[in-house]
Structure 1
């Protein structure tokens, strides 16, 4: 059942200790879903696509090999925030390891951000990539849901109204679906509402405290709005 931990993935991870199987599965799913934002973040810093992929794989292997993430605390309230902090730590550790090798064992503490211009913009880019990954996930889940219920044609015809960009001709959609204008408007509204609910569900899976869903949802909407 692919969505068994959909609503509680991050909560399962932060509350589990040792090798709890459900938490391991939940963490693995989260890492798979949000692989791309981490890869893009590392690409900006490494400026080498092959090296970035190698480092990204190494990061997730290390993350998934941990005995546990730890108990929930404010800094771990959102998987997005936790993952960004973890990948920064991983890159800093890797950087220090390289310094050790180059200097014959002499360890020099060098903050990674000092070597990366516009570190704040870098973090904003990560949040933007994160938001896009979440939207894609919600889009795919909704498409699968509607296809399974025999509404695949309806989804394919109406999906331009989900993307926020230029939309297709309503007249053409009416002809294709055999709907009156009012019925089409209702169908678009319902699809948008279902998509919004799907996005919120995806957000919920990445926060430890349900009370943070609204704030995280609003933040991601703002991040996407700034990108347009």
Structure 2
């Protein structure tokens, strides 16, 4: 894993302090809710929304099934693929009721129900092939599962699902920030963020060390970190808006990811 792919802890990205300002740069556009989009009458919009949700949840679901149901990697891959295929075909996610649970809890419960049912009917003819419209890198997920948790088969599966959901969200925000900074010619901004937030805490360099390494002043280090943190936070909120059904749910999830100070 390269350093930029490491996931910063949620609490590491603090809100701006009084006096810190926007710098005029554009933030990520505000996307529509994919949770609501799966109910759209337009089939193209429904599929697009489903793809967003599948990309966000496939890895937490795969790892959850692997541990909760004590399956082999091959079975967990089959269950995950089939779960999302069935969810798309039957428009399962359109049945979400935000008054009863968070969407991520709803997805996990749906996966449990699916696996329990599917295991009872595995004699039925299996479909061939995968999901052409979204790629699931199960090999990488399995490697992560082993590398992250040597005791993976003894930990609480629900806790892992929650942690994996947060990790997936943060990693997507890191990837967006990196690409956005490169596109705007602000590679130094991302590099400062990478050095300070994506380095192991025990090895995290000081502002002085970052300034020396990047050949900029201490004030520039602070300014570039302010920029990167602000945009990273915006990217998280963008991703959360896609996979929640209401402003209230989005804010509740943001407090979990960004901390009580959100």
1:128 aligns with 2:163: yes
Q: From 46, 64, 80, give the equivalent of 1:23.
A: 46
1:33 aligns with 2:56: yes
Per mean C-alpha deviation after superposition, the further-off stretch among 140-149 and 212-221 is: 212-221
1:77 is displaced (CA, Å) by 6.1
List runs of 5+ in structure 1 lacking aligned partners: 101-116, 223-228
Distance of 1:48 and 1:41 partners within structure 2: 12
Distance of 2:70 and 2:256 partners within structure 1: 28
Residue 137 of structure 2 corresponds to none
Per residue, is there more helix in 1 or in 2?
1
1:88 aligns with 2:88: no
CA deviations 1:148-200 (Å, max 9, x no partner) are 11112431343132348422343332123332112212221221122112112
Q: From 217, 222, 225, give the equivalent of 1:180.
A: 217
TM-score of the pair, normalised by structure 2: 0.67
Kindly tell me: are residues 169 and 75 of structure 1, through their superposed partners in 2, closer, same or farther at Cα, counting changes over 3 Å? same
Distance of 1:41 and 1:73 partners within structure 2: 22
Largest Rg, 1 or 2: 1
Residue 13 of structure 2 corresponds to none
Question: What pairs with 1:35-74 in structure 2 (closer than 5 Å)?
Answer: 35-44=58-67, 45-67=69-91, 69-70=93-94, 73-74=97-98
Distance of 1:99 and 1:118 partners within structure 2: 29
Distance of 1:78 and 1:160 partners within structure 2: 34
Distance of 1:22 and 1:64 partners within structure 2: 13
Kindly tell me: are residues 35 and 25 of structure 1, through their superposed partners in 2, closer, same or farther at Cα, counting changes over 3 Å? same
1:205 aligns with 2:242: yes
RCO (CA 8 Å, sep 6+): is it higher in 1 or 2? 2
Q: CA RMSD in A?
A: 2.9
| Count of aligned pairs between the two proteins | 201
Kindly tell me: are residues 67 and 9 of structure 1, through their superposed partners in 2, closer, same or farther at Cα, counting changes over 3 Å? closer
1:149 aligns with 2:184: yes
1:140 aligns with 2:175: yes
Q: From 193, 196, 203, give the equivalent of 1:158.
A: 193
1:140 is displaced (CA, Å) by 0.7
